[in-house]
Amino acid sequence: MNHQRPQIVHVALGSNEGDRDAHLQRAVDRLAQVPGVQVRRVSSVRETAFVGDGPAQGPYRNAVVELACSLPPHALFACCKQIEAEAGRQLPAPRNHPRPLDIDIVFFGDDVVDTRDLVIPHLRWHERDFVRQPLVELGVDVAAKRRWSGPEVIEAPEAMSARSLQWRTGGCVIGIVPTMGSLHAGHRRLMEIARAECDRVIATIFVNPLQFGPKEDFTAYPRDLAGDLAVCRQAGVDAVFAPSVAQMYEPAFCSHVAVGAAAEGLEGAVRPGHFAGVATVVARLFAIAQPTRGYFGEKDAQQLAVIRRMTRDLGFPIRIVPCATVREPDGLAMSSRNAYLGAADRAASTVLARALRSAREAFRRGERDRDRLLQRARTIIANEPRAGLDYLELRSEEDLAELPPGPIASGRMLVAARFIDGVRPVRLLDNLSLDGADEA
Ligand code: PAF
């Protein structure tokens, strides 16, 4: 179906392989041959060094073409892909690799397109001099043009649901990364994995009162939305869902997810009600955002087990993706709590990763006895007087069920310990699969 009236469309051309200027000229000629497309003007061609992450490669030749187009955006997009393929471009194209021809639709009149394969206005047009300058040369009022400036921040659950529906209707795979903010490199890694696997990524930032116990200070939990948005922007997140407590839980809210065996023992024993609060908020986030995949860190292994169980039990059609723990260079697992460690405790805190890795080494060398593996790790922790051990356990890899004494075929070792000499007492958690490669 053609547009009633032709739209003024700007497409950016780039080439850094073969006879670059010939590729650009052929693209202009081919666009002019497309029925329903008229080439109005072509900017001068400029040379731009390659920027970005990808293999080392030569500079680009770039130009912008102004079209009058009576085709719908996706029909023009299909023609652009066809012209790229004719120029010898491998499709689907590996990201940031050299290419004979790249054609991006930058603007399509004032249309906004937000689908799996096509986003208009182009996501990064305003960050690229080799697009912005030719647009100015062609007389486009760039200041008046719409730009996507990092993640859209959504507060109302209804607005989040509407955006998600729009994306799903456009065929998008949606990844969600639930967080309570205070984002660090571990969260960023979750977002990057989601970014690589999904068409749209939602990060949620919500400090969930339901998962705080009576002795845990909900109001003192660190909040830094501006800093968190910067992390989300760098990780390429599309939308940040950051509702208020009142928006998440209306005054009459009274339905909770009850969690069973997965929440017993370990953290569940120390923090009664915590996992019910986590399961309730994650179920609500899933219901609001309706993602295709949910990304959770293995660092919080019991939380991951609870969420997997809840997702299955309640029938959410969402794939839970476990992501390897991100560590500091000295082995300490990344956590928002690390910031509260004093210098001496920070140095001592590496004992947890050392103890777990030592047990894993022993397992790899053939030790299979549950208690000898535990004893090995326990001795290392006992030699660090600053660490107060809460628990050290070996549980099943599958669902963290308890393992009987005797030989084990596989397992995950989990530890929690207190460090008390910093700004405030800090409880650190860590865990490691004895037979897996679960470290980022
Ligand atoms: O891991 C967290 O930050 C939280 O427990 C979660 C999953 C976002 C639920 O509030």
Task: List the CATH number of the domain containing 366.
Answer: 3.30.1300.10
Q: Taking CA 76 as the corner, what is the angle to CA 71 and CA 80, rounded to the nearest 5 degrees?
A: 160
Q: 174, 199 in Cβ contact below 8 A?
A: yes
Domain boundary, last residue among 290, 323, 356: 323
pLDDT of residue 220: 85
| pLDDT < 50: residue spans in the chain | 1, 440
Between CA 102 and CA 48 the distance in angstroms is 14
Cα within 13 Å of Cα(211), Cβ side: 20
> 215 is in which domain, residue-wise?
152-323
- Protein residue closest via CA to atom 5 of ligand 1: 278
Q: What's the length of the chain?
A: 440
Q: What is the pTM of this model?
A: 0.78
Does 281 contact ligand 1 (Cβ within 6 A)? yes
Tokens of residue 295, six digits: 């990304």
pLDDT of residue 53: 63
pLDDT of residue 440: 47
pLDDT of residue 3: 56
Rg, the chain, Cα only: 26
pLDDT of residue 377: 98
% helix, strand, coil for the chain, step of 5: 35, 20, 40
Does 278 contact ligand 1 (Cβ within 6 A)? yes
Residue 2 belongs to a domain? no
pLDDT of residue 233: 86
pLDDT of residue 98: 87
- Protein residue closest via CA to atom 9 of ligand 1: 278
pLDDT of residue 124: 81
Between CA 263 and CA 240 the distance in angstroms is 28
Q: How far is the CA of 207 from the centre of ligand 1 (A)?
A: 8
Active site residue 187: yes
Domain boundary, last residue among 115, 144, 173: 144
pLDDT of residue 30: 97
Residue 74 belongs to a domain? yes
Q: 178, 282 in Cβ contact below 8 A?
A: yes
Residue 60 belongs to a domain? yes
Q: How far is the CA of 99 from the centre of ligand 1 (A)?
A: 42
* 97, 187, 256, 274: the active-site residue: 187
How many structural domains compose the chain? 3
Residue 1 belongs to a domain? no
Q: Are residues 185 and 113 in the same domain?
A: no
| Helices first, then strands: H and E counts in the chain | 13, 16
Q: Are residues 48 and 89 in the same domain?
A: yes
Q: Are residues 198 and 286 in the same domain?
A: yes
Q: List CB contacts of 389: < 8 A, sequence separation 6 or more.
A: 378, 381, 382, 415, 416, 417
Domain boundary, last residue among 144, 168, 185: 144
Q: Which atom of ligand 1 is nearest to the CA of 180?
A: 3
Q: Are residues 43 and 109 in the same domain?
A: yes
pLDDT of residue 422: 62
pLDDT of residue 437: 63
State the chain's mean pLDDT as an integer: 93
Q: Which atom of ligand 1 is nearest to the CA of 307?
A: 7
- Protein residue closest via CA to atom 3 of ligand 1: 179
